[in-house]
Amino acid sequence: MPHRKKDIPPVDAAGQRLPLGPESAVLCRARDYAAGTVIPLHHHPDRHQLVYAASGVLVVQAGAGRWVVPSTRAIWMPAGIGHKVSCIGAVRMRSLYILPQAIADAPPSAATVSITPLLAELIGAAAIVEQPYVPDSRDGHLMQLILDELQALPVLPLHVPEPVDPRLQQIAQHWDAAPDDASTLQDWAVRLGVDAKTIQRLCARELHMTFGQWRQQIRLVRALERLAHGEKVIDVALSQGYASPSAFTAMFKKRFGQLPSQFFE
């Protein structure tokens, strides 16, 4: 019979630290959260984290932006980055905590990654591994395979970057309140009293995308959050300013490779 993992927490919102043996390159903590749970802003100074929901949907906010994380995805959170986690629906969270030196070429910033069926099973198995484990053992080989799989995961476009410039912040705040607003780049240039090229330069410098790409990304990620709450595609499409559900569906599939109805299956 497998042994249950000792319930010793990693660094949490209260600042409690997990005492780990030197051989624990990877550990997994399994926790279940009720719908609407919010894990306040916190960080893990000494370990990277893979925030994964075996079921349910997470919205993760960090200094660099906002991510929507369904159960077939996870978010990579580098050590030291503060983040806040909100649960949409009931969530079965399975988080990995990884020593930075244990994984080569880790993403330097937070990113959404795809979770393969193999990695999902490995994470489930890691949740019952005793800590600390011996590297040259069944548990050690399991954890090493997790590290190998993590280095092959593709990064997914489920991120809305947060601007620093106050003019871009004004646009972002307006879109949060009125995502269906059809104001053009030129409209915003007039409203802000700047040249349209200034806004484009700010978008390229801070967000690494054009004004139009930024607006589209905000709409699609906000749409993901609403779909995760169970709203109908037609209602979500119209709320985000799309002319029709078919226009929204076409853009969604082009961006994410799946229909909206398939994304959370």
Banded pLDDT at 264 (limits 50, 70, 90): low
The mean-pLDDT minimum among 9-18, 23-32, 206-215, 229-238 falls in 9-18
Question: What integer pLDDT is reported at residue 18 of this predicted model?
Answer: 44
- Output the CA angle 83-89-93, nearest 5 degrees: 55
What residue type is 228 in one-letter code? A
Question: b vs e for 2-15, b when ≥16 Cβ sit within 10 Å of the residue's Cβ?
Answer: eeebeeeebbeeee
- Whether 205 and 238 map to the same domain: the answer is yes
Radius of gyration of the chain (CA): 20
Question: What integer pLDDT is reported at residue 9 of this predicted model?
Answer: 40
Q: Does residue 138 surpass a pLDDT of 90?
A: yes
- Whether 87 and 191 map to the same domain: the answer is no
- Whether 140 and 32 map to the same domain: the answer is yes
- Whether 88 and 177 map to the same domain: the answer is no
Last residue of a domain, one of 139, 156, 173: 156
Gap between the Cα atoms of 206 and 192, Å rounded: 18
**Count of residues making up the chain:** 265
Banded pLDDT at 23 (limits 50, 70, 90): low
What is the domain extent for residue 244? 163-263
Gap between the Cα atoms of 165 and 187, Å rounded: 18
Banded pLDDT at 62 (limits 50, 70, 90): confident
Question: What integer pLDDT is reported at residue 3 of this predicted model?
Answer: 37
Banded pLDDT at 6 (limits 50, 70, 90): very low
- The average pLDDT across 37-55 equals 92
Banded pLDDT at 265 (limits 50, 70, 90): low
Contacts of 39 (CB under 8 A, 6+ apart): 13, 33, 84, 85, 86
**CA-based end-to-end distance of the chain:** 32
Residue 184 is part of a domain; what is its CATH number? Answer: 1.10.10.60
Question: What integer pLDDT is reported at residue 13 of this predicted model?
Answer: 41
Gap between the Cα atoms of 263 and 70, Å rounded: 8
Q: Is 27 helix (H, G, I), strand (E, B) or coil?
A: strand
Last residue of a domain, one of 156, 178, 200: 156
- Whether 103 and 184 map to the same domain: the answer is no
- The average pLDDT across 108-130 equals 89
Gap between the Cα atoms of 250 and 253, Å rounded: 5
What residue type is 41 in one-letter code? L
Q: Is residue 17 part of a domain?
A: no
Q: Is residue 11 part of a domain?
A: no
- Whether 60 and 180 map to the same domain: the answer is no
- Whether 192 and 78 map to the same domain: the answer is no
Banded pLDDT at 104 (limits 50, 70, 90): confident
Q: How far is CA 139 from CA 92, 186, 191, in A?
A: 22, 59, 60
Q: What is the pLDDT of residues 196-220, one digit of tens each?
A: 999 999 999 998 889 999 988 888 8
- As a whole number, the mean pLDDT across the chain is 84
Q: How many domains does the chain have?
A: 2
Selection from 124, 143, 107, 117 nearest residue 21 by Cα: 143
Sheet strands (E) in the chain: 26-33, 38-42, 48-62, 65-69, 73-77, 83-98, 111-114, 155-156, 159-161
Last residue of a domain, one of 95, 128, 156: 156
- Whether 69 and 189 map to the same domain: the answer is no
- Whether 71 and 124 map to the same domain: the answer is yes
Q: Does residue 166 surpass a pLDDT of 70?
A: yes
Question: What integer pLDDT is reported at residue 188 of this predicted model?
Answer: 95
- Whether 152 and 167 map to the same domain: the answer is no
Q: Is residue 131 part of a domain?
A: yes
Contacts of 119 (CB under 8 A, 6+ apart): 146, 149, 150, 153
Count of other CB atoms within 10 angstroms of residue 68: 25
